[in-house]
Structures are given as structure tokens and as C-alpha cells.
């Protein structure tokens, strides 16, 4: 069975779990990441959400309002809250997964100090529109959320270079992975120093226990996501047996992983370095598969397709339909797992019911109506054609 997500690591990569990691592995990973990103600094963290917490602290923000999309991964507002600030939600644009910048302007007040611009599912944000926002509100810092969109571009301009900094998540579901992990990139020397100072004060060293646990997780996850084994993994997940490993939030809680303040393990950094070497191949494959879907489904009137801009990097190719459950079932029967990556509207979660939210709830319409088509290395042209045939029904 083909999983909806899989890192670009062949099963032969299991042997990496047996290789010793150099003590300066994290430093090497940061240097390699900065080189690929074309930024002066890259600073590693145990999770992307930890990276955002320390970034906001380094910016000196506390008891301030931070604007973020209402249709986004819930770990983003969680990190805002853990940093001592308040999340303010802005709805998506009509027929888009991206934040409505007109609404974002309405959300600004004297307490607003940052806006998190999320290139969701790899679709780049509109940098020209962001620039107009900055002209009107120069005191509001722009932070790029590139967790789904590593090094994407808008009209030829790198998205992650626009704003004070960019954040990335590096778990197994992302375009690039370091098993777990996160990263901040910036060209601001003073901010980079402040981020490192915040990290030193907040995040403790990774010990042998974390190094071993990450190696074991790596082996288990690679095996579980291999198509030969994934049928069993899928059945166990349906029974709830794997919830403790795959469910990343509780709708009633604002919380963090137990080890969110324990630094990235050297083994994770070495996996990340290997991934960076393959970045161009990884993204080229994703763009090719997304292009196949876009071409095959362009005449399907029962589907709303995502944009297919030249600079997108595609964590998934996401379509909207009123019949999502049927397509998921049809694909399962064909041995392919499709996804529902974000199946909630953050302001509707009990944990955020009292937070400010701007917009009519367009993102709410996406709940239960999105289907994430896989674009990872395990999806070749033949599999993409099978997925397209299913979605044409």
C-alpha cells in the first residue's frame, strides 16, 4: 500500500542508524542549511514549534498579538501561546489556502507585533501583497512559515528571504526531514545572535537517551512507511494503536511534546545533511508529480484544484471536493492512502474559542472537504495516474 507521506530516504538508508554521529553534527547541519537557503544564518531546534518560540522570545515579544492563519497547523498558535504571546486568527482568501491579507490589515492594532505568513502545502505567499502590508504597518514584523514550502519562490523571489526570519519543521511528513527537528533562517546578524542566546537559555543538551530514541524511531518509521509494510501500519492506525505516535494535538489543550526543550540529536542533524544534498531532486520529483495531477484533473469540474505556480514546492497536492470521504475510500481500495492533513479550523478548537478571529470562516468550509494527493518519492508516474483516475470518478 502506498502511504500519503514518506521521506525521501530509501529503505537502504536504514544502515545510517548504525553510523556514529560526530559531536559537531548540528553545527554542520546549520552551515549546510544556510548554504542551501542562501542565508547568513540557520539555527537548529528540536522542533519547528520550538524554533518559533525562541524566535519570538529573541524578538523581545511578550504579551503581544501575533497574527497567524486560521487554517493552519495548530502547532503554530501553540508556539505563539507558549512564547507568552496571543494568537490572532485571520481567515484564508476565497478559493485559496493562504491568509487573506485584507483581513490581516483589519486585525492590526497597537498590540500587534508580528504576522506569520504561511506558504501552506508549498504554495508561495504573495510577496508583493506582503510588501504592501509592510508599507502600511512597518512595526509589524513578517515571519515566514516555510514548514510546508522549503525554499519556494514567488515570481522568482525566495519567500524565506522576505521578512525578519523564516521557520521550518523537519519531521517525517515534511519535504526535507531530520527525523524530527526545526530550523530558523535569517540574514539579520543581531537577530541570529539573539535567537542563539534564547536557545542557550531555553533548550538543554541532548543526551544519549535522545540519540538512541531518535535512531530507533528512524528505523521504525522507515519500515512502517515502506509500501511492503504500510498495509499493516495503516490497519494499526485505523485501530488507534498508533495514536500516541501519529496524533500531534489534543483539541482541548495547548501543549508541546515532552522533549520540545531538548536540543536536536546529532543523528538527526546527519540525516538532515543527507537530505539537503538531495533537495533539488526531491523538489523536482514533487513538482513533476504535482504537474501530472494538475494536467490530468484540470477538466474535473467536481474538484477545485490548487494553484500550480512555478515556485511552489508541494508538501502535498491538495484538492477540494464535496465528496472527500468517497475518494479516500476508493483510494484505500486501490492500495493508496490519500490524506486529510489539516482537518480542523483552529478558531473552532475548544482551546482557542476565546481568541480573536477575523473573517467569515472560509477555512471552515475546507474541513472534511480537502484531499491531499501524495507527491513523495514513492509515487511514480504510474501511481500518479492511478490517483488521478480515482479522483476523476
Provide, rounded to the nearest whole percent, the portion of the chain with pLDDT above 70: 97
Q: For residue 167, name the pLDDT band (cuts at 50, 70, 90).
A: very high
Q: How far is CA 63 from CA 36, 66, 89, 196, 287, in A?
A: 35, 10, 16, 22, 41
Q: Once rounded to an integer, what is the mean pLDDT over residues 350-359? A: 96
C-alpha cell at 204: 538543554
| Residue 244 pLDDT exceeds 70 | no
The confidence score (pLDDT) of residue 229 equals 83
Q: Once rounded to an integer, what is the mean pLDDT over residues 204-213? A: 96
The domain defined by 1-278 carries CATH number 3.40.109.10: no
Q: How far is CA 154 from CA 36, 133, 196, 313, 319, in A?
A: 17, 16, 29, 11, 21
The confidence score (pLDDT) of residue 247 equals 65
The confidence score (pLDDT) of residue 217 equals 93
Q: Which residue has the higher pLDDT, 246 or 280?
A: 280
Mean pLDDT of the chain: 94
C-alpha cell at 207: 543526551
Cα–Cα distance measured from residue 110 to residue 281, given in angstroms and rounded to the nearest whole number: 45
Boundaries of every domain in the chain: 1-278, 279-391
The confidence score (pLDDT) of residue 231 equals 81
Q: How far is CA 338 from CA 109, 235, 304, 327, in A?
A: 41, 14, 16, 8
The confidence score (pLDDT) of residue 270 equals 97
The confidence score (pLDDT) of residue 243 equals 62
The confidence score (pLDDT) of residue 261 equals 97
Whether pTM exceeds 0.85: yes
What is the topology classification, in CATH, of domain 279-391?
3.90.1150
The tens digit of pLDDT for each residue in 53-89 reads 999 999 999 999 999 999 999 999 999 999 999 999 9
Pairing of strands 317-320, 65-69: unpaired
Cα–Cα distance measured from residue 171 to residue 218, given in angstroms and rounded to the nearest whole number: 10
Amino acid at each position: 500500500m502506498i502511504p500519503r507521506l514518506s521521506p525521501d530516504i530509501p529503505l537502504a538508508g536504514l544502515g545510517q542508524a548504525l553510523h556514529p554521529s560526530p559531536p559537531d553534527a548540528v553545527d554542520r547541519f546549520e552551515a549546510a542549511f544556510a548554504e542551501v537557503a542562501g542565508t547568513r544564518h540557520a539555527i537548529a531546534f528540536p522542533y519547528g514549534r520550538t524554533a518559533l518560540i525562541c524566535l519570538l522570545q529573541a524578538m523581545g515579544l511578550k504579551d503581544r498579538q501575533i497574527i497567524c492563519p486560521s487554517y493552519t497547523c495548530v502547532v503554530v498558535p501553540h508556539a505563539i501561546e507558549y512564547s507568552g504571546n496571543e494568537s490572532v486568527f485571520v481567515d484564508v482568501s476565497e478559493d485559496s489556502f493562504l491568509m487573506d491579507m485584507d483581513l490581516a490589515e483589519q486585525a492590526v492594532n497597537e498590540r500587534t507585533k508580528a504576522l506569520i505568513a504561511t506558504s501552506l502545502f508549498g504554495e508561495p505567499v504573495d510577496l508583493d501583497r506582503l510588501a504592501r502590508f509592510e508599507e502600511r504597518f512597518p512595526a509589524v514584523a513578517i515571519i515566514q512559515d516555510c514548514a510546508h514550502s522549503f525554499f519556494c519562490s514567488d515570481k522568482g523571489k525566495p519567500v524565506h528571504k522576505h521578512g525578519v526570519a523564516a521557520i521550518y519543521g523537519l519531521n517525517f511528513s515534511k519535504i526535507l526531514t531530520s527525523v524530527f527537528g526545526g530550523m530558523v533562517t535569517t540574514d539579520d546578524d543581531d537577530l541570529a545572535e539573539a535567537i542563539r542566546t534564547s536557545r542557550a537559555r531555553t533548550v538543554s543538551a541532548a543526551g544519549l537517551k535522545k540519540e538512541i530514541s531518535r535512531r530507533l524511531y528512524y528505523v521504525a518509521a522507515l519500515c512502517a512507511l515502506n509500501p511492503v509494510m504500510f498495509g499493516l501500519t495503516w490497519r494499526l492506525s485505523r485501530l488507534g494503536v498508533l495514536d500516541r505516535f501519529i496524533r500531534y494535538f489534543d483539541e482541548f489543550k495547548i501543549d508541546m511534546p515532552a522533549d520540545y526543550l531538548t536540543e536536536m540529536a546529532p543523528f538527526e542533524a546527519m540525516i538532515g545533511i543527507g537530505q539537503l544534498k538531495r533537495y533539488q531532486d526531491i523538489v523536482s520529483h514533487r513538482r513533476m508529480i504535482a504537474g501530472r495531477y494538475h494536467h490530468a484533473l484540470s477538466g474535473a469540474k467536481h474538484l477545485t484544484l490548487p494553484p500550480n505556480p512555478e515556485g511552489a514546492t508541494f508538501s502535498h497536492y491538495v484538492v477540494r471536493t464535496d465528496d472527500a470521504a468517497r475518494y479516500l475510500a476508493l483510494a484505500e481500495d486501490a492500495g493508496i492512502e490519500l490524506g486529510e492533513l489539516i482537518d480542523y479550523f483552529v478558531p473552532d478548537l475548544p482551546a482557542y474559542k476565546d481568541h480573536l478571529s477575523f473573517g467569515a470562516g472560509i477555512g471552515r468550509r475546507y474541513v472534511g472537504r480537502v484531499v491531499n494527493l501524495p507527491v513523495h518519492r514513492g509515487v511514480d508516474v504510474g501511481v500518479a495516474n492511478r490517483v488521478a483516475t480515482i479522483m476523476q470518478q
